[in-house]
């Protein structure tokens, strides 16, 4: 029946669906490509009491090592977008780097900071993703969501409470369908130069050669970044199983050798414990630790 609604795969290895490349799996993986398919899929799952989990690009999550006995809904194929003047409307699975590049190529600016973030627009709005002192909510005009009663509704920016890497959407049952952003006139050459400079800086300072999910912890302050705290504690390079606190950037945990989720979480626990004991700071994890239950 599920295959009558949208493309559905059975017994799926999810290693390539999370940027940590942690080996995990799901009983079913649904790949809707339209708003109608998403609505019909969720309706069917709710009516039949089937567990489901929404997955963007898997770029800011730590998935469990165990199999998910339900349906993973991937937004990978729900990724169309339209640029009309300075207004961009994108389906929630559209990737930030693709949108950033499209905006720059059309002489606009406002998403240069997102060119290196491997996340979807929907997940990025949900968590108010950001970089280089910018965040996605700066540009949001409105979003279209599916509520728990399967009603499609529009939320304006003022309807969403947000802060640093947080929005009220995280505590809701809304499924983000589309996002509308307002950009502004830019300069193609300047934007391209800015993106190139930031890419070079990332390559020099971040362990992009290994699978990871980006920065692990939020910075307690601009003056005291998490990476420096962790490095000063001598934790850089520490290994548990196949996971390592990067010896290039201490606020990254990388998958060096078939790491398990439990390896990554054990390193996170050690870092939090050491920082609390030595600095009396409770580091906040920026990555979302998923529990299938």
Q: Which residues are catalytic?
A: 165, 215, 286
Whether the Cβ atoms of residue 74 and residue 30 lie closer than 8 Å to each other: yes
Within a 10 A sphere around the Cβ of 220, how many other Cβ atoms? 16
Tokens, residue 263: 């390896």
197 CB neighbour count, 10 Å cutoff: 10
SS3 content of the chain, % helix, strand, coil (to 5): 30, 30, 40
Total residues belonging to the chain: 293
DSSP secondary-structure letter at 32?
-
Max distance between CA atoms of the chain, in angstroms, equals: 56
């Amino acid at each position: 029946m599920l295959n009558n609604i949208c493309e559905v795969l059975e017994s799926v290895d999810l290693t390539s669906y999370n940027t940590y490349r942690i080996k995990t799996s799901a009983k079913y993986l649904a790949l809707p490509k339209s708003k109608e398919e998403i609505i019909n899929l969720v309706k069917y799952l709710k009516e039949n009491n089937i567990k489901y989990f929404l997955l963007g690009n898997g770029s800011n999550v730590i998935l469990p090592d165990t199999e998910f006995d339900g349906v993973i809904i991937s937004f990978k194929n729900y990724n169309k977008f339209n640029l009309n003047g300075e207004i961009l409307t994108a389906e929630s699975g559209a990737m930030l780097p693709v949108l950033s590049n499209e905006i720059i190529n059309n002489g606009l600016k406002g998403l240069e900071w997102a060119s290196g973030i491997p996340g979807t627009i929907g997940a990025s709005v949900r968590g108010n993703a950001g970089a280089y002192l910018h965040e996605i909510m700066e540009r949001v005009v409105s979003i279209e969501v599916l509520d728990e009663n399967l009603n499609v509704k529009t939320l304006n920016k003022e309807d969403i409470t947000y802060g640093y890497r947080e929005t009220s959407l995280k505590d809701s049952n809304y499924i983000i369908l589309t996002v509308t952003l307002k950009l502004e006139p830019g300069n193609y050459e300047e934007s391209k130069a800015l993106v190139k400079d930031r890419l070079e800086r990332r390559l020099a300072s971040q362990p992009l050669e290994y699978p990871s999910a980006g920065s692990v912890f939020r910075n307690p302050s601009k003056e005291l970044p998490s990476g420096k705290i962790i490095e000063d504690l001598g934790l850089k390079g520490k290994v548990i199983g196949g996971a390592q606190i990067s010896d290039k950037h201490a606020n990254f945990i990388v998958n060096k050798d078939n790491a398990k989720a439990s390896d990554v979480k054990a390193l996170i626990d050690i870092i939090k414990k050491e920082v609390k004991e030595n600095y009396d700071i409770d580091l906040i994890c920026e990555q979302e630790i998923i529990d299938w239950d």
